[in-house]
Structure 1
Amino acid sequence: MSRRGLDFWYRLGRLLARILIPTFGRIEVVGRENVPPYGPLIIAPNHQSNADPGVLVYAISRPLWWMAKRELFSNPLNAYFMRAVHVHPIDRDGRDLEALAWAQETLAADRALVLFPQGTRSPGALTEGSDGATYIALRSGAPILPVAITGTERIRGVAKIAFHFQRLRVVIGEPFTLPVMEGRLEREVLHSLTDQVMERIAALLPPEYRGVYAGPKTGRTAS
């Protein structure tokens, strides 16, 4: 697919998100001014539901690139549209070197890459973060933009959205960078930095959404 074709489908998806989300929900976005207008960026949100990507497209004006589990690309038609809206497949075993290289190239091209640090959905409260987003941030040097999403955990289908207006809220924090680290990354260091990323997200969430990052002893750093 040509770059023009990719841009068309992404713009169409963004237009639909900006029409449908405020039509079927009441959405508040806080902190849009914190989004850098250009340059490499890792967007790190909590992950409540399958509605989160559409909400992020609505909330953040920059074009977004994504990574998603390879199983979603098994159907050729689905794979076509996933790639058309800037989504790249990744194996969830943590050893997908091709996908990691793609992420590095995406950031080197000054794009905004969305990485859900939890690695999977956790409706209602934060669970322990995985290290993939942290690893990519360390290797690329790209700043991280923490984002907190609430309300999407109550979305269970189009019919429910249409008949029950959901209150959605997106809080965009200030970007930050991880310390520069040379050489081999020790697992304990990587875990600790991942917890720091998760704590930045937790700080933007209401207390009841913070889960394992709710107290002063949080995540794996407390174990």
Structure 2
Amino acid sequence: MLYKVFQGIFFIVFKVLYRTEVIGIEKVPKDERIIICANHKSNLDPIFISANFKKQIHWMAKKELSKNFLVKGFLERLGAFFIDRDSADIKAMKTAMRLLKENNIVGIFPEGTRVKEVDYTNAKAGVSLIAHRTKSTIVPVYIDGDYRIFRKMKLVFRDPIDLKELPKQSTEQYEVISQNILKTIYEIGD
């Protein structure tokens, strides 16, 4: 309920202040497990995507946000869960997999942090590993714009990526797959 309230409020805010344009949302599979993977340049990114996507997204958030118990409690009520980006956080991976197996939508920023310059080597293996193990479809999403008031923001949904038929991979292979996911997110042309 809380999620839907904030989603509605921010949908209006983004539509009015940023003249939001959503492109390709019809590409999102209807009856599959889904991981939303987007570029990440602002703290507003998960809010922007969630406001413009009908279903609830359970965002993987950096553990630093959980240090303040009020922020932690609020984000958890919105469905977020936390990851330690400096280690192989098995608990966060298991939480993501459980959510997907329960047919929830999970949101992950494959670069693991906000970035100003694109570097495909920043891609974390976790996103492709989680998708492969849970037989989930990855939906690459590109956020275009700088969140300046009254300037247009675009949310571009790319063609889904299906890893279901892939044989088991090594960590290095999962990293390469995640790099290719990033390349799909940043591809030129809308």
Kept after mapping to 2: 8 A contact 1:90/1:99: yes
Structure 2 segments unaligned to the other structure (5+ residues)? none
Aligned-pair RMSD on alpha carbons? 1.7
Q: Which amino acid is the alignment partner of residue 166 of structure 2?
A: V
SS in structure 1 at match of 2:96: helix
1:197 and 2:178 aligned:
no
**TM-score of the two chains, using structure 1 as the length reference:** 0.78
Aligned to 2:159: 174
1:17 to 4, 7, 10: 10
Question: Paired residues, what number?
Answer: 187
Kept after mapping to 1: 8 A contact 2:125/2:172: no
Query: How much does 1:204 deviate?
Result: 5.2
Larger radius of gyration: 1
**TM-score of the two chains, using structure 2 as the length reference:** 0.91
The separation in 1 between residues aligned to 2:43 and 2:35, in whole angstroms, is: 19
1:68–1:19 Cα change, 3 Å: same
Aligned to 1:188: 172
Query: How much does 1:20 deviate?
Result: 0.8
1:108–1:29 Cα change, 3 Å: same
Aligned to 1:49: 42
1:126 and 2:110 aligned:
no
Query: Relative contact order, CA 8 A, sep 6+: which one is greater?
Result: 2
Q: Which has the higher helix share?
A: 1
Q: Which amino acid is the alignment partner of residue 191 of structure 1?
A: E
Aligned to 1:40: 33
Structure 1 segments unaligned to the other structure (5+ residues)? 1-7, 156-160, 207-223
The separation in 2 between residues aligned to 1:188 and 1:148, in whole angstroms, is: 25
The separation in 2 between residues aligned to 1:119 and 1:205, in whole angstroms, is: 24
SS in structure 2 at match of 1:166: coil
Query: How much does 1:126 deviate?
Result: 2.2
Identity over aligned residues, as a percent?
Answer: 29
1:30 to 23, 28, 41: 23
SS in structure 1 at match of 2:159: coil
Deviations 1:83-136 (A, max 9, x none): 01110011112321111111110000111111111111113x422212221121
The separation in 2 between residues aligned to 1:49 and 1:59, in whole angstroms, is: 16
Aligned to 1:221: none
Kept after mapping to 1: 8 A contact 2:39/2:141: yes
